[in-house]
Amino acid sequence: MLSNYRGDFWRLIRWLASPIFKVSWLVFGLSLFATLLAWRFFVVSIDGTAKNAFDDLLLAFTGELERSMTAYEQVLSGAASLVQTNPTISRRDFRRYLDVVQVTRRYPGQQGIGYSVMFPANQLATVEQRVRDEGFENFKVTPQGNRKTYSAIIFIEPFDWRNKRAFGYDMYSEPVRRTAMARARDTGLPAASGAVKLVQETKSDIQAGFLLYLPIYSGFQMPDTVEERRQTIKGFVYSPFRIGNLVEAVLKRERLDIKSNADIRITAPVIGDKTDVIYDDAKDSGDANHQAKFVQKGFLELYGVRWDIALASTPKFERAVDYTPAWAALFVGLTLSVLLSGLVGSAALRQHEANMSNARMELLTRELAHRVKNSLAVVQSVANRSLVDGRPLKEARELFLQRLHALARAHSHLVNNSWRGVSMRELTAAELQPFGARASIHGPDVSMNANTAQMFALVLHELATNAVKHGALSVPAGRVDLRWRIVPVDGEDTLRFRWKEAGGPAVNEPESSGFGQTLLKQSIAHGGLSRPEIAYEKDGLLYEFDVPLARLEEETSLRSSK
């Protein structure tokens, strides 16, 4: 069963691959190519729209971050103004200001605001003692060590457990912080540090951080020259930022859609030209192995420090990209390609069938002309022989019509079979039908070609006519037995035919040889092994002939065991 299906499948493939469908396949190929181009155009267009939307996320993120830092700078500027205009500001005044501003509630992401003083090494003990006198008995400047210039964080709010870790820390002793502090001092402008590990960090939830500094000078006005600024620097109001908290606060407050649609990666300088990743949302969210389809890079100049920012699309963003128009175009294009190529193939098949039909019609026309010519020759021969044997005109006319009817019956069978051959059994039964059971027929069915069928029909008619006039069928008790069989002769299948009359009057060999005798003595088919044998026995006529089966059959044998 399976092998039959496979055979049918490959026959179908070979049929479709035939030259008939060459144009159809060409149309299908061109239509498919156009469909793929259209599909690709839609995909590129949709991707372009998605990329523009994703690029907007980067612009939105950098814009929100920049606006947030501007707000943080304003809070820091207020604290700097307070310290600048009140040189003897107390810890209590500093705390009150920040309580009013509500830094931690209104400005999430900002770790706090502090004030770090600058002093030479000979004032180290004085500074430490002054803070201890305020109730902080264990206060000391860290890290310890001999330095020409010190700084110390003496105010920091909110004064919680995390910020207390930075109380007394000398930020000027660390290179990255010192670089930012020196830039703020020399320019008089806010300055951000590179990425650092804040002293507020513990062993858990460690984040990269940075600091934003505003310089405080002696007097109420900022000195005009860099040298004067270096000489009059008193300290810095600053804010520490944990970068993770800062980014999360910005996104939570302004654009939650950025966080869900993009993984954010921020790279910033650490020391000198060295840079490091200070924030990686993909790593934190567990999507580090995701290969993003859309990636957009930008940067943000943050108070003298460049942050390189890269956004990578998340699976959620990519799933939201609607490719329905592209798939619809592909489906419609494929459907139209199949239909169009099918129409072309159908037209080609109809044209091929028309050509084949015309060719067959032309062949049939030529064959019909040939067969009509042969039939007319046979009719002419029958007419000549029927009318020249010295019979009266009426008898000759009757004999001619009978022979013509026999020939017509053979023609009818040939026409019914489209001239592909006539069944020997059907032709014999039709010829002997008037005699009913008095004529017995035995033998396998054999297909006879057109010429043989016409000759055999005339022979049967002649034998039957003679039997009715002079032989077994002329008396009620007479019978005719027709038998044929297939026998091998010299390795070739041969048809052996026998006509035997019985129960009739004695028959004698005719003294004269008319058309009937001439006909009976001729070979049934071209290439016969021998001429027919005729015996005039006491109980009736015996007629036999042998002819190669291949000479009788034309295309398909109709033999069957009967």
pLDDT, tens digit, 9 for 90 and up, residues 198-240: 888 888 888 889 999 999 998 878 898 999 999 999 999 999 9
Task: Return d(Cα 311, Cα 265) in angstroms, integer.
Answer: 6
| pLDDT at residue 64, as a whole number | 87
Considering the domain architecture, whether residues 395 and 538 belong to the same structural domain is answered as yes
Using the structure block, give the residue that is written with the tokens 């002793």: 173
Beta carbons of 481 and 470 less than 8 angstroms apart: no
Q: Looking at the domain assignment, is residue 33 inside a domain?
A: no
Q: How many Å apart are CA 297 and CA 266, to the nearest integer?
A: 10
Number of domains the chain is built from: 2
Structure tokens at 282: 């993909």
Domain co-membership, 83 together with 226? yes
Same domain, 432 and 518: yes
Q: Is 328:284 a contact under the CB 8 Å cutoff?
A: no
At a CB cut-off of 8 Å and minimum separation 6, what does 383 contact?
Answer: 400
pLDDT of res. 321: 87
Residues 199 and 77 in one domain: yes
pTM of the model: 0.58
Domain CATH number, residue 475: 3.30.565.10
As a whole number of angstroms, the longest Cα–Cα distance in the chain is: 171
Which CATH number is 210's domain given? 3.30.450.350
Domain for residue 150, yes or no?
yes
DSSP 8-class letter at 310: E
Q: Rounded distance, CA 64 to CA 254, Å?
A: 7
The predicted pLDDT at position 53 comes to 87
Are residues 314 and 398 located together in one domain of the fold? no
Domain of 143 in residue numbering reads as 52-318
Vertex 102: Cα angle to 98 and 107 (nearest 5) = 115
3-state SS assignment for residue 514: coil
Residue 374 lies in a domain: no
pLDDT value of residue 400? 62
Residue 60 domain-assigned? yes
Other beta carbons within 10 angstroms of residue 255's beta carbon come to 17
Residue where one domain finishes, among candidates 302, 318, 334: 318
pLDDT at residue 558, as a whole number: 41
* pLDDT (0 to 100) of residue 272: 67
Question: Tell me, what's the pLDDT at 85?
Answer: 85
Query: Has residue 359 been placed in a domain?
Result: no
Distance separating alpha carbons of residues 459 and 367, to the nearest angstrom: 25
Burial classification of residue 463, based on how many CB atoms lie within 10 Å of its CB (0-12 exposed, 13-18 middle, 19 or more buried): buried
Three-state secondary structure call for residue 300: strand
Identify whether residues 314 and 449 lie together within a single domain.
no
- The answer as to whether 335 is a domain residue is no
Residue ranges of alpha helices (H) inside 17-90 are 22-85
Looking at the domain assignment, is residue 561 inside a domain? no
Confirm whether 31 is domain-assigned.
no
Q: 431 and 305 in one domain?
A: no
Residues of the chain with pLDDT under 50: 370, 527, 555-562
Q: Which of 271, 297, 318 is the last residue of a domain?
A: 318
Question: Looking at the structure, do residues 310 and 403 belong to the same domain, yes or no?
Answer: no
Of 318, 341, 369, the one marking the end of a domain is: 318
**Would you state the structure tokens that stand for residue 449, as one six-digit string?**
């070609």
The pLDDT value recorded for residue 16 is 60
Same domain, 311 and 395: no
- Confidence (pLDDT) at 191: 95
- Same domain, yes or no, for 144 and 262? yes
The residue to which tokens 């290439």 are assigned: 527
Distance CA 2, CA 12 (A): 15
